[in-house]
Amino acid sequence: MGNKFGTAIKCMDGRTQIPVIEYLKSVYGVDYVDLVTEPGPNKILAENDDVGIIESIKRRVKISVERHNSKLVAIAGHHDCAGNPADKDTQIAHILSAIETVRHWGLNVQLVGLWVDEGWRVCNVQ
C-alpha cells in the first residue's frame, strides 16, 4: 500500500474531525487518518479502568497500525467536550497520561498529543 496512514484516538464530536485530520495531514505528512472515536477518550485512557472500552480502542488502533501500517498515533482532547467536560489543563494532563497508557501497548509508533481549542485550532501538547 503506497499511502501513508496515521491514526487519531479522539472524541466522537464532529466539530473536531476535520481540524484533526487536516492538522495530521499537514504537520505529519500522512495521506489518510484512521479515526478511533469515543466520547472523551483522553479521560478513558488516562483513568485506564474501563477495560471493555480500552480493549475496543486498542483493537481498532491495532487494525490501523497492523493493516494500514500507521506509524503515528495521536490522542486528542478538545474544548467543550461532552464526554470529558474538564478544563483545558486537566484534559491536557489526561492526554499525557493517555499517551503513557498507549505506549504500554507496544505498537512501535510515534505518539503525539493534540489539543483542539475553542476556535477549532489544533496544537501539539508535548
Q: What pairs with residue 16 in β-bridges?
A: none
The pLDDT tens digits of the residues spanning 62-100 come to 999 999 999 999 999 999 999 999 999 999 999 999 999
Q: How far apart are alpha carbons 116 and 3 in whole angstroms?
A: 26
Fold (CATH) for 5-124: Beta-carbonic Anhydrase; Chain A (3.40.1050)
Give the residue extent of every domain in the chain.
5-124
Is residue 25 a contact partner of residue 33, using CB atoms and an 8 Å limit?
A: yes
Q: What percent of the chain stands above pLDDT 90?
A: 97
Q: What is the pLDDT of residue 21?
A: 98
Encoded amino acid at 79, one letter: H
The pLDDT tens digits of the residues spanning 36-57 come to 999 999 999 999 999 999 999 9
